[in-house]
Structure 1
Amino acid sequence: MTQTLQTVECVPESDKFEEHLNGYEQRNYNAGVVGIWSSDNFHEADFQGYVSDVGIHRKERGTYEIAVLGNRELNKLARLAKEYNRLKNDYNNDSDEVYFYYPSMADKPFPDKQDSLALEALLSDLIFVQIKRASGYDRENTPTGFERVNVIFYFGDFTLDSLEVVFKALVEYNLLDVEEVLIYYDNEHLDRGIQDIESAKAQFANTIIPDNGEIVEDKEIPKFDFDTLPSVTYDNYTEGLRGDDNA
Structure 2
Amino acid sequence: MTTERSEATRVLVVDDEKAIRRFLHISLQAKGYDVSEAERGDEGLSLAAIRHPDLIVLDLGLPDMDGTAFLRHLREWSAVHVIVLSVRERETDKIAALDAGADDYLTKPFSVGELLARMRAVLRRTAPAEEEPLHRIGRLSVDLARRRVTLDDLEIPLTPTEYEMLRVLVTHRGRILTHTQILRLVWGEGYEEGRHLLRVNMSNLRRKIEPDPRFPRYILTEPGVGYRLCDGENRSENSGGW
Same fold (TM over 0.5): no
- Structure number with greater CO (CA < 8 Å, separation at least 6) is 1
Structure number having the greater strand percentage: 1
